[in-house]
Chain A
Amino acid sequence: MAYLPNGADDRRQMLEAIGAASVEELFTSVPERLLRPVMDLPEPLAEQELVSELERLAARNHPLGTLDSFLGAGVYRRYIPAIVRAAVARPEFYTAYTPYQAEASQGTLQTIFEFQSMICELTGLDVANASLYDGATAAAEGVLMAVAQTGRDRVVAAADLHPETLAVIRTYLGGRGVEVVTTHDVSSTLGAGDACAVVALPGFLGTVDEIAPVAQAARAVGAISICCADPIACSLLTPPGDLGFDITVGDGQPLGIAPSFGGPHLGFMAVRQELMRRMPGRLVGLTHDHDGRRAYALTLQAREQHIRREKATSNICTNHALTALAATVYMARMGGAGMRRVAEISVQRAHALAARLTEVDGIELAEPDRPYLWEFALRVPGDAGDFATAMRHQGIVAGLPLGRFDPERRDQLLVCCTETTTPAALERYVEASSRAARPVTVSA
């Protein structure tokens, strides 16, 4: 078999050493009636057959690179420098375990320490952890921290949080007797019984609202302020920590991680110093070895499940170390300045596209008065799903029809530009949209 190194002779001698007559004898503790059930599993495959089979499945998909894609909505096709893939493809990193034995894991430990440091720089906060699963679960963990810290049982969330984030927060709080309210005006909704305020930067529709007052309002009522931030946006905008937020969480996917049909991505979390011991997940600290050399180790483990069991700050154990490595290499390659340049290109292109599109008959911005970064809600004539279908026939993924998340936005599409959406693709979008918009107008 492919991955079983011992041959028949080895196995026989090993059984002899054990004192067993057969492999079956090793399973006598399993009740007879449970053993060797009839299972409907396909024939084993040779590596060559396996590759054909999976290539066939892959060929049934239409990857973004073969299309003009304007999809964003939380997952972004950003350019990934080759060195990022080269780093995560090294077996020294991808086959390693959680770095419990520090002396044999300094490579992983140091890259995590670098990751933590970079996330602190990006968010303007004091302490970042080694990673969480994704942006949505990171937000839910942040909310749980706030509930534990304040002992209060209501959460006030901005209505323009990513719908998946909001849904995950609700599931995490289910069974815990904590209420989640959503509002367009977080600051004036906050009261003395609230555990936290949760806002997004940018909002789900790509808009940037003034959120500093939310952090102030939260502080005034003794609540924790949480910002769900896009990491590339943090390189351009005043970071949440500087705006007064206590916790910043987000999805690190834009930092050199492939879209991969929604995962694996990367959750990150950074907090103020006072909240350090309430943080979920791994933390790597700088220390020394017995010869006084600089060394790194997992630390403050008294927060974690393997020590504290039901009293742990979270149940998280496995996190997303390898995608955190990808993000670390991405940030080190690009630098803060390179990330900011990527943000600026995205902003320029999105605004250029929006300006051109609004010249097309029947197309307009849905939120014309709110500033936005590289995503905007576009109102089209008729149903946005039909518009997207017509655009797709011309090889363009025009954006995300919003009716699925909000029935009142059935005629709207969330459109995204990044540094990978080329100026030529913008031209094709404009041209195709005048055709896609026309027949719908006629039939309406």
Chain B
Amino acid sequence: MNGAVEPGSQGGPGPAPEWAGEEPLVFELGGDLGRGPREVEAGVPPRPLAELLPGVVLRIDPPAIPAVPEPVLARHLGRLARRNHNLHQGIYPLGSCTMKYNPAVDEELARLAGFADLHPYQDAGDVQGALQLMWELERLLCEITGMARISLQPAAGAHGEWTGLRMIQAYHVVHSDTHRTRVLIPDSAHGTNPASAALAGLEVVTIQSNPDGTVDVADVARHLDSSVAAIMMTNPNTLGVFEKDILEIARIAHEAGALVYYDGANLNALVGLARPGDMGFDVVHLNLHKTFSTPHGGGGPGSGPVGVAEALTAFLPLPTVERDGGRFLLDHDRPLSIGKVRSYYGNFGMLVRAYAYIRTYGSSISAVAENAVLNARYLQSRLRGIFPMAVSSDSMHEFVATTRGSRVAGLRAIDVAKRLLDYGVYAPTAYFPTTVPEALMFEPTETESRRSLDLLADVCAAIVAEAESDLDHVRSAPHETPVSRVDEVEAARRPVLRWRPAE
């Protein structure tokens, strides 16, 4: 089987000197600095700017951004596009990132003028369809999470985390419990959890994991006292393992007066099958760009709705979307709200896509989780002979392998990651979670076919076999990508963060 795969044979960026060379920057394309494209006429009697803007100091020259002729710009973008791995080219098995297929129809729907060409300050009577969509999406997500209300506003998962923690702080303040300033966070958690806690002004206490990767209940119990505002949990955790003591942890946390926060950024293992609300969680955030298939866009825009139990609904950010009979409206009059967390009402374009995605599956949405877990477990079974696994427990939608202890001493996670790129396969998440040395975290998602999973497994086997005979070739990968291994040390040591004209 291994003979079937070769670097560059999978539609990946093979060596093609015509386009693999450097692509000039926009500034180097010979655009016109003095004149932009043809514009409409103002169509009103022109008056001198000095008269219209008395006392205002104008820029002497326009910004030195060239106006690039459209044919030249189109080719520039086309050439840059070919230098990107993407989901239409090959699998993107990044653990914890949930790189699933983004439905073509969802893209079309979000661009309908009836959604894209709306101003946030239009009168409610002119945007009833948009408000209805948001109102319905909130209800759908409440059903899926088991929470009482959800704010669709946060622009990303980390933004949702911080919004959730601000609501937890508000809850404690209202209950005159103002000395709760600490948050318990497992050592395997995403870096955003402690960073969001710090942004909210909370102190982070790290909780140890058991050898099987789950949270140590005894360590949680040891730290639970009247200074703890909340515990943040990820379930399944970042090793892809369901937290077996989740109900007990929620119980003892509540008993100690703390709230429990669910990092539901990635709900792909459980969507439609189990709900954070039923597990006793008070706050949960979701990443629509993971579970609900809105595109990642090369790093956003995402959307990170945050849901709360009944006791916290008064603190939701402003405004909420409400229904009054047959009319939908925005409610800005909520005295206990934590306030505004961003401008306007959320990344509405992403909400349209997620709404479309959920309506497509509807009551059969558990098929997403079932197939995501089936795919991940199948891939794991194919990789078992190739890489050791980080833990022996059954994983769910993602799993963590390691190169430590593989057949080839000296084979590192980064080497496997970079060599995969030569096969038109993106690398799994490397070196996360940080609790596992030389970690390779795989998450195939439900939208990969068995054939695609087999290919990934075959490529991994081929790489390990190659490393046995020629480790140096693997360690110097990638060889077939538009650029070879990029010198990140140079980038950090002498930061060049912008183009400047040659002196």
Contact = CB atoms under 8 A, between A and B. Distances in A.
B59 A297 contact: no
Interface in A308-327: 308-312, 314-323, 325
Nearest to B12: A104
A300 B204 CA distance: 24
A335 interface: yes
Nearest to A331: B65
A415 interface: no
A186 interface: no
A299 B488 contact: yes
Interface string A18-40: 11100100111111001111011
B365 A317 contact: no
Interface residues of A, number: 205
Contacts of B417: 101
Contacts of B23: 106, 110
Given A95-B87, A314-B199, A237 B364 contact: no
Contact of B109 (A51, A103, A312): A51
Contacts of A334: 36-37, 65, 67
A315 B21 contact: no
A64 B130 CA distance: 13
Best-surrounded residue of B143, B304, B349 (most CB of chain A within 10 A): B349
A308 B81 contact: no
A288 B120 contact: no
Interface string B147-161: 000000001111101
B450 A10 contact: yes
A36 B58 CA distance: 64
Contact of B297 (A39, A322, A339): A322
Interface string B199-215: 11110100000000000
B439 interface: no
Nearest to A212: B57
B114 A59 contact: yes
Nearest to A67: B126
Contacts, number: 697
B478 interface: yes
A282 B108 CA distance: 29
Contact of B155 (A57, A101, A263): A263
A236 to B, nearest CB: 6
A116 B500 CA distance: 11
B302 interface: yes
Interface in A377-436: 388-389, 392, 397, 400, 419, 422-423, 426
Interface in B116-173: 116-123, 126-130, 132-133, 140, 143-144, 146, 155-159, 161-162, 166, 169
A348 B47 contact: yes
Given A53-B359, A65-B117, A289 B483 contact: yes
Contacts of B107: 89, 94
Interface string B306-348: 0000000000011000000000000000000011111111111
A19 B381 contact: yes
Given A322-B298, A334-B67, A83 B88 contact: no
A98 B429 CA distance: 12
Interface string A356-371: 0000000000000001
Contacts of A43: 362-363
B36 A337 contact: yes
B13 A306 contact: no
